């Protein structure tokens, strides 16, 4: 049925796509994306095999137990109401030691870690119980805790001072990660860590060698999330799923950036519009 521009303006992404992507995590070296089917509300694992999805530009809050419709700002995947951090700022720049947040995360034990991606180092902090998972979701070859703290706030402050004093970045760009997908990445990471290990006090050293991505012949091109992704999935590391499209080009899709977007299988009339 033909729909004119004003009708499209009034429709929402929920009318045009199959499902809403609501979470992304790594479990035992397998990336797990979850989708909520719009028509039934069913929550299920999003299958990437075969890869044939059309991704929306639009993003909406992923909700909690219940679906939520809030339009998002910035790169958050939850609105303020649905965020598991009652004080949303505490997610990135903690303002309390668990006292303002009616939640235990800010007051939980945290570690400062070094993540090694081929020859690149990054410093970060996470809950002590999530060290391995944090390494995996970022696609690090090794993750090493170098300090333990009683709260998220103290860990963030220690992370920032380590970053400043040693000149180690707190972020790893996707553009850099894309060059750490080859089979030699782990050997480079081990060599890099050996060079610097004696100047830290390592507490726990974890080697992350089980990513389902082997024998890649070149660096893939990172694709914008919105739009069509179709091809054979070759594997994944961190946020990136690598696939070969129908023309044989190696491409990478940022799985974390799918969260809060809508997906369908084929570009519908709605999806083709630039509105979503």
Q: What are the residues binding Zn ion (CB under 5 A)? A: 61, 68, 70, 79, 82, 87, 90, 96, 100-101, 106
CA distance 112 to 145: 6
| Longest pairwise C-alpha distance within the chain | 67
Is the CB of 211 or the CB of 262 nearer to Zn ion?
262
CB of 200: closest distance to Zn ion in angstroms? 28
Is the CB of 95 or the CB of 221 nearer to Zn ion?
95
CB of 149: closest distance to Zn ion in angstroms? 14
Reading the block at residue 191, the tokens are 């060599």
Is the CB of 87 or the CB of 216 nearer to Zn ion?
87
Is there a contact between 119 and 188 (Cβ–Cβ < 8 Å)? yes
Q: How many CB atoms lie within 10 A of CB 181?
A: 25
CB of 66: closest distance to Zn ion in angstroms? 9
CB of 130: closest distance to Zn ion in angstroms? 17
CA distance 156 to 154: 5
Alpha carbon separation from 149 to 22, 89, 132, 158 (Å, rounded): 31, 19, 17, 9
Is the CB of 101 or the CB of 271 nearer to Zn ion?
101
Is there a contact between 124 and 115 (Cβ–Cβ < 8 Å)? yes
CB of 71: closest distance to Zn ion in angstroms? 10
Give yes or no for a cis peptide into 50 (omega within 30° of 0).
yes
CB of 57: closest distance to Zn ion in angstroms? 19
Is the CB of 58 or the CB of 90 nearer to Zn ion?
90
CB of 159: closest distance to Zn ion in angstroms? 16
Is the CB of 20 or the CB of 251 nearer to Zn ion?
20
Is the CB of 70 or the CB of 219 nearer to Zn ion?
70
**In terms of DSSP H, where are the helices of 139-243?**
152-166, 174-177, 185-196
The number of residues in the chain equals 276
CA dihedral 169, 174, 175, 176 (to 10 degrees): 50
CA distance 83 to 67: 13
């Amino acid at each position: 049925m033909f729909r004119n521009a004003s009708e499209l303006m009034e429709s929402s992404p929920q009318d045009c796509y199959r499902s809403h992507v609501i979470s992304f995590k790594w479990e035992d070296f397998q990336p797990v994306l979850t989708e909520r089917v719009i028509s039934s509300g069913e929550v299920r694992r999003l299958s990437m095999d075969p890869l044939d999805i059309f991704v929306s530009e639009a993003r909406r809050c992923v909700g909690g137990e219940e679906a939520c419709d809030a339009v998002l700002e910035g790169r958050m995947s939850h609105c303020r109401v649905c965020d598991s951090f009652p004080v949303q700022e505490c997610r990135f720049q903690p303002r309390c030691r668990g006292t303002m947040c009616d939640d235990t995360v800010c007051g939980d034990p945290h570690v400062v870690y070094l993540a090694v991606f081929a020859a690149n180092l990054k410093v970060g902090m996470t809950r002590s119980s999530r060290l391995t998972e944090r390494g995996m979701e970022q696609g690090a070859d090794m993750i090493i805790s170098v300090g333990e703290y009683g709260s998220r706030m103290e860990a963030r402050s220690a992370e920032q001072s380590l970053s400043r004093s040693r000149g180690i970045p707190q972020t790893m760009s996707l553009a850099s990660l894309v060059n750490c997908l080859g089979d030699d990445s782990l050997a480079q990471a081990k060599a890099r860590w050996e060079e610097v290990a004696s100047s830290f006090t390592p507490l726990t050293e974890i080697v992350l060698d089980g990513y389902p991505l082997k024998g890649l012949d070149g660096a893939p091109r990172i694709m914008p999330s919105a739009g069509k992704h179709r091809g054979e999935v070759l594997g994944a590391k961190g946020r990136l799923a690598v696939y070969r499209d129908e023309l044989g080009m190696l491409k990478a899709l940022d799985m974390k950036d799918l969260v809060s977007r809508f997906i369908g299988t084929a570009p519908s009339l709605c999806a083709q519009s630039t509105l979503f």
